Amino acid sequence: MTLSIYFLMFIIESATQKLCPLRSSIDVLEGEYFFLCYLQSMQEHLQEEAYTINWYKENAGKQQLIKETDRIFSQMNFLEFWPAELSDSGSYSVTHSNGIQNVTIQKWTLNVLERNTSSCFNENHLTTEIKNAGTGHSLKCSALSVNENDSITWYKDCKSYENETERELDFKTLTVQHSGIYTCKILISHEGKTYHSTNTIKLVVEEDAPEAVTLEIVGRDEEIETEIGKDKILNCTGFLGYYMREDASLYWIINQTFPEKCTGIPENEPSICEEELKKIQLENKFYVTRLLRIKKVTDNDIHQNFTCMLQADERTQIKIVKLKKGNTQDLPVHIFTTGMVLAVLFPCVAVAAVFVCVMFRVDLVLFYRNICRKDDTAEDGKEYDAFVSYLKDCISPSEEEREFALNILPSILEENFGYKLCIFERDVSPGGAVVDDIHSFIDKSRRLIIILSQNYISDRSIYELESGLHKVLVEKKTKIILIEYMPISDYNFLPESLSLLTPKRVVKWKKDKSLPVNSRFWKNLRYLMPAKPNKINTKGHYHNLEPSEGAQSWTEGHDFNAVI
């Protein structure tokens, strides 16, 4: 009795081994009978009563137990589909349970391909065989059914082929005319219904076929040095020959189990995962390759085998890769020294860069405006770039100030830098209401330039100042530029509202030192003026004097808020 059981188990195991190719990814056509199965040892068969077999399908990232229906059910180590549907695509696994421990035996990815309604086959579900004319050859039908009574029909290019009904289609002598797409169709009876499965082979017969090659994995078994805690990528490449074998399968196995698929999302990646299979053609040679990614190598990874398997044409090639600890090397002295020097220099360079930017802020802004042709005046509805307000009535003490306001200032800003100024005595026709004219022309100007002096507030220009302050502080339409033309010892004559203006909008005139066009005074003034893309002539000057040191801020030596 025991001998009979062993003999029966041997027959079942032999058939199972033939029908269960060890592939992690399987393609099947919708509407056809199909099954998943795994190799089961004889000992497991004898202990079958002590184990429970469970099949699972992954759904939304979770493993769900497959419940039998009238279409899907399990039998021994088979999970059968009567028939397969598109919704069956997904990840499957099978486990053994003894009531205490669950052991995952094998995993698959099942791809159910859509059937081509206009043809008897799907172009993505066929194998290619290239043979030499004048030789003999046999095309083998799918072995999805072991029942010898199942009906088999062969088709060539979707037409019935010579009433052939055998599992193998034999050609004693191949000719070029035998080239074509052959499909065998197996009819399978099950519970009073008839189902079918198909196998499609593209046969190419050439007068001079490529030389015969041996399917092989590139490279031999190897040991690769690595470090604990470091990421590692293992590569396996298989050579297929001179045409792409559609049935070729290349995958990794770790301790007789398939690794998980890589997700492409770093934070969700398993510790060990394999990439998708890639097909490569180099000149007239074809290869397949697959990467295995190991995130942070552990001691356990050092002591196990990573096996790469290549399957095609019922042949299997394997390559075993092992990891070994490499010698941890200290950081080279020159790299360490360079790093320390850079660590010390970087803060110094950063501080120096900030210092340069602060010290030469005005020059950098003017350079940027010139390079980029920046224009702040385009389509803003303003007629003038600045309205100039200065001391007008006190003639005796202010001749130099009038000369500065009426000649020097417009000569430099208008003739050298292309600005358009509004000077009341020069540009406003007499006869109008002074206050109304002042308001109107300040409204038309982008800036209000106030030339400050001790007697400025006592002059009628107080209306211009008050109007300008109203535009700045209330309407926020115009910006004020203060020019300290003469040294001022007492600031109490200025309105308190001026304390609300930023001190950075004040420039100080230093007479002969400020006259050259490229002096700091004119640069500071242009910095406060609106940007205009005019051709700048920095060689011009009002008087031929040598350029000298930059102008000081109006607040130099004074607390702005304290003196106003």
Active site residues: 464
DSSP string, 425-453: HHHS-TTS-HHHHHHHHHHTBSEEEEEE-
| CB 441 within 8 Å of CB 425 | no
Side-chain-facing half-sphere of 280: CA atoms under 13 Å: 13
Type of residue found at 450:
I
| CB 84 within 8 Å of CB 144 | no
Judging by DSSP bridges, how do beta strands 180-190 and 151-156 pair with one another? antiparallel
CA distance 444 to 420: 11
As given in the structure block, the two tokens for residue 27 are 């393609």
Q: Which residues of 15-158 form beta strands (DSSP E)?
A: 25-29, 34-37, 52-59, 62-65, 72-75, 78-81, 90-97, 102-113, 127-132, 137-140, 151-156
The three-state DSSP-derived secondary structure of 190-223 is ECCEEEEEEEEEEEEEECCCCCCCCCEECCCCEE
CA distance 33 to 78: 13
CA distance 137 to 507: 98
Q: Which residues of 439-542 form beta strands (DSSP E)?
A: 447-452, 479-484, 506-508
- Name the one residue in this structure whose structure tokens are 């309407």: 475
- Number of H helices and E strands in the chain, helices first, is 12, 30
